[in-house]
Amino acid sequence: MPPDFRRLSVFRAVVNHGGVIAAARVLHKSPSAVTYDLQQLERALGARLFRKAGRRLALTAQGRTLAASIERAYLDLQHAWDGAAGGAETPEPLRIACVSGYGRYRLLPGLLARLPRERPLEVLFRTANEVLALLESGRVGLGVSYRPLVTAGIASAPLAEETLVLVGPKAARRAPAPQEIAALPFVTYEEFDYVFFRWFEAHDLALPQPWRRVDHFDELEEALESVACGRGWSVVPFDAANGRAYRTRVRIHHLQRRVCHNQIHLVGSTQALQGEDAALVRQAASA
């Protein structure tokens, strides 16, 4: 079913103006007509976009995702409109989907230092599977992942290496002995299983059976915050643990003097991997 752009604009008005009544006033519609449009939009999507929060409407997780996507689309349209209205050619944004640990702490600083100021940049931090989905849909031109995401029309090439480390609360001065690892309370995050497996494999340790997990988050940063608050331990990229926000708040432990390296891959169409944008990403990664 194609998107219902008219009802999507109604949804955007409700989000931006804080409710049905305010949106109805701006749209010159009755509140009941706005409510009907929202109901029809939810029915077409098969998902709830709002939930009741007292007397107000609050966005659900699906609603927040849709609202953010719509705003990105409007920004792109506004950018194109401004370029066309000014008679100048608008630079195509550099659009990249990237796993968050490497992307935030290694790739993004290098890109910002090298990208021309007039060139727009859009970086979406996602899981490895979502990086692939964004590439296949054409939403982004390049992906950066710790998995070689090779499918029909999508190729992969080594980009860089990151180091994975065990982190614990600052008060934990002594590194745990190998036989103590399985009993540690772990804080996990999306797709932690791949990262944890690499670290355990590199240290010749069996995965805990069962896991003693105290907290779980979508994002790596919340997991590090939990560790910093003394709630548990985690395995994360060294650059994230050693970043400005956490280097004085968590303790990095090196076991058995071993180093766990994790390969990072640049992913995209064969043509994209040979283009100027891919060369720029490689320069940023090598910084």
Q: Where are the domains of the chain?
A: 5-85, 94-287
What is the separation of C-alpha 95 from the centre of its chain, rounded to a whole number of angstroms? Answer: 13
> How do strand 142-145 and strand 94-98 relate by DSSP bridges?
parallel
Q: What is the mean pLDDT of residues 80-84?
A: 69
C-alpha separations of 241 from 36, 188, 247 in Å: 48, 14, 6
Token pair listed for 1: 């079913």
Q: Which residue has the higher pLDDT, 87 or 115?
A: 115
Architecture in CATH for domain 5-85: Orthogonal Bundle (1.10)
Kindly report the pTM of this predicted structure. 0.68
pLDDT for position 2 = 65
- Bridge partner list, 32: none
Is residue 129's pLDDT more than 70? yes
CB atoms inside a 10 Å sphere around CB 219: 14
pLDDT for position 59 = 85
Is residue 205's pLDDT more than 80? yes
pLDDT for position 87 = 59
Is residue 4's pLDDT more than 90? no
Alpha carbons 11 and 67: distance in angstroms, whole number? 8
By the 8 A CB rule, do 180 and 166 touch?
no
Is residue 239's pLDDT more than 70? yes
Is residue 26's pLDDT more than 80? yes
Determine which helix (DSSP H) or strand (DSSP E) holds 261, and give its type and residue range.
strand 260-268
Tell me, yes or no, if the two domains 5-85 and 94-287 fold the same way: no
pLDDT band at 5 (very low <50, low <70, confident <90, very high): confident
Q: What is the mean pLDDT of residues 112-121?
A: 90
By the 8 A CB rule, do 127 and 190 touch?
yes
Alpha carbons 45 and 42: distance in angstroms, whole number? 5
Is residue 45's pLDDT more than 60? yes
pLDDT over 90, % of the chain: 50
Highest mean pLDDT among 81-90, 116-125, 233-242: 233-242
Q: Which residue has the higher pLDDT, 268 or 82?
A: 268
- Bridge partner list, 97: 124, 143
94-287 domain in CATH 3.40.1110.10?
Answer: no
Which region among 10-19, 44-53, 86-95, 164-173 has the lowest average model confidence (pLDDT)? 86-95
**Per-residue exposure over 40-61, b if at least 16 CB sit within 10 Å of its own CB, e if not:** ebbeebeeebbeeeeeebebee
pLDDT for position 139 = 82
For Cα atoms 102, 287, 281, give the angle at the middle one, nearest 5 degrees. Answer: 65
pLDDT over 70, % of the chain: 95
Is residue 275 helix, strand or coil?
Answer: coil
> How do strand 155-169 and strand 142-145 relate by DSSP bridges?
unpaired
Residue type, 262: N
pLDDT in tens, 138-163: 888 999 998 887 777 889 999 999 99
Alpha carbons 112 and 116: distance in angstroms, whole number? 8
pLDDT for position 89 = 63
Is residue 1's pLDDT more than 60? no
Cis peptide before 2 (omega within 30 of 0): no
